[in-house]
Structure 1
Amino acid sequence: MRQVFDGETVNSALESGPTLGIVNPVRARDRFALARVEPAADLADLVDWHWVITWDLPPGAAFTQNVMPHPVGHVVAEREGFLAYAMPAGLFERTLAGTGAVVGTKLRPGGYRALLGLAHPGERGAVGPAAFLGPTAPLACEEALAQASAGRPDAAVRTVTPLLRAAVERSRTTRSTAALAALREAFSVIADAVPGTSVTALAGRLGTTPRSLQRLFADWVGVSPKWVLRRHRVHLAAEMLGRDPGLDLAGLAAAVGYYDQAHFSGDFVRAVGVPPGEYARSCRA
């Protein structure tokens, strides 16, 4: 889908750039447009990026998009108001109909706990009003959605940013700042790691112990570093299949760090909901 953003026609982020986590991104391209916006510099330790989705489907039509979750939370401006989403418990599903827009903020690992000022990483799958954004949030939500619908994703994000900044100022602590920095380094290493990297090897590269790394992830992310390494491999595999459904599955499994195809297929089914062969066929169709 192509759409006018800030007065210029540009490609949706579904057509260029990574789509890690979006199930069958090729099929999604004709259903909605996705724009990504970088966060303000003073929020970059907490916010990974902002995402703006708009859609305009024919009358009576509906489209359901599935997303393999990353181990992070989101804050989203929707028709109902701002909602805070903890990391989903499983495959996330959203059905679109008619015309609409949402303006989301993808938090960094640990950001959900830090932003909400919690003593735990949050209950997986929890969704609730983002009351921590303060009393001006309802009007800001309306304005952000209006800007998004008008094809101005940058303006939509500029509307949301002051609310996030104020919330961060209220919730930030020395401990949360340190945890976010440690997790950002860990996830950066994971993104660049050789497929099949173990938790022990990851801890070694970070100059810490596996036990300390596991405790950090348990306290702030809510899943283990082993879970994150495994999910990253599946994300890579699904991304590669989405771009080239004709890939040899045995070769793909090896390329993303699996020593046998059975383990690869099992992890893929748990994350995506279907075996890799079926996923490839759906992407090809």
Structure 2
Amino acid sequence: MTTAQTLAPVVTAEDLERRLTPPAALRPWITEIARIPTVHPGSAAFTHIPQVVTSIVLRTEESGRRDAWVLGPRTRATYSSPDTAAGCTRIRLAPGASQSLLGIAAAELTDRIAVLSDLPGPVADLADRLLELDPDEVAPFLEAVLPHRLSEDSVRRDHRRLLDSAVAAMDTAGPVTALAADLAVSERQLRNLFAAGIGVSPKHYARIARVRQVLAAAGNTPWSHVATASGYYDQSHMTADFRSLMGVPPTAYFRGDIPAPSPCQSLTRL
């Protein structure tokens, strides 16, 4: 019986992060603030694994240049190698928060990168100030300023709460039909909520979640057990889904046989 590799030689961008739980005043809209220290050219290629959140990224190059971007949900892995010495702060938005903070639905950002100041939401007005801050100053600044700039009606708050419940139930609800029934909404309403608030369908959300479970669970364990623990019918279904989202099957990935690094994704002017 084949087993997963004990250690993956592939480094992910998330492996480099130092994570901070945001202050309570920010948690309705922000789930995590993470810092990646300066990464230099010549470092080994690393993986950006699929991610079902929208993030504000404050990037600082060693030369002093600073940029504020928005990264939408990533539906497939990408592989890159740094060409400029730079570090960044990632501000991850809660499900349903994109419209309130950025002024657009999450689906408009899926697999895209935008300039923060181009967006119509209230956080865009803070872009220049955010770029002046040291990483440790970002959370206190947002705590002091952001809640007073946001205006949400009861419908938007209800949508955020419903998405929170849907995400929490994804592991146990089974098919989308069952999840919608548990939440007392139609399947169409649920898909629309996921598209606007998260940027992917419930089905694709579940696929990404399962692949991330495989990435977290791989170790000195039979692949068939990893597949079952991650919610797959069998190992062959796990392998096919992993290949679709990661570009290579799990056995190749965990021995470091990954796609060649590609240039960074270009910015999208919205």
1:68 matched to 2:49? The reply is yes
Q: Identify unmatched segments of 5+ residues in structure 2.
A: 1-6, 61-65, 258-270
Give the drift of 1:235. Answer: 0.9
**What residue number does 1:274 align with?**
248
Give the drift of 1:275. Answer: 0.1
Q: RMSD across aligned C-alpha pairs, in angstroms?
A: 3.0
1:189 matched to 2:139? The reply is no
Residues 134, 163 of structure 1: 8 Å contact kept: no
Superposed CA offset, 1:120-154 (max 9, x none): 6324223222124355532431323xxx4xxxx4x
Report how many aligned residue pairs link the two structures: 242
Residues 54, 102 of structure 1: 8 Å contact kept: yes
DSSP-derived class of the 2:82 partner: strand
1:255 matched to 2:255? The reply is no
Residues 61, 98 of structure 1: 8 Å contact kept: no
Distance 1:130 1:166, change over 3 A: farther
Q: Normalising by structure 1, what TM-score? A: 0.72
Which moved further from structure 2: 121-130 or 155-164?
A: 155-164
Match of 1:40 among 20, 23, 37: 23
Task: Provide the rounded CA distance (Å) in 1 between the counterparts of 2:17 and 2:207.
Answer: 26
1:70-149 matches, within 5 Å, as 70-79=51-60, 80-96=66-82, 99-118=85-104, 121-131=107-117, 132-133=122-123, 137-144=127-134, 148=135
Task: Provide the rounded CA distance (Å) in 1 between the counterparts of 2:106 and 2:169.
Answer: 24
**Displaced runs of 4 or more, over 6 A:** 29-32
**What residue number does 2:140 align with?**
158
Give the drift of 1:39. Answer: 1.6
Task: Provide the rounded CA distance (Å) in 1 between the counterparts of 2:13 and 2:175.
Answer: 39
Residues 242, 249 of structure 2: 8 Å contact kept: yes
Residues 49, 105 of structure 1: 8 Å contact kept: yes
DSSP-derived class of the 1:50 partner: strand
DSSP-derived class of the 1:121 partner: helix
DSSP-derived class of the 2:52 partner: coil
Identity %: 23
Task: Provide the rounded CA distance (Å) in 2 between the counterparts of 1:38 and 1:69.
Answer: 21
Match of 2:154 among 174, 180, 185: 174
Corresponding letter in the other structure for 1:76: V
Q: Identify unmatched segments of 5+ residues in structure 1.
A: 1-23
Corresponding letter in the other structure for 2:225: G
Residues 59, 86 of structure 2: 8 Å contact kept: no
Residues 32, 53 of structure 1: 8 Å contact kept: no
Give the drift of 1:47. Answer: 1.0
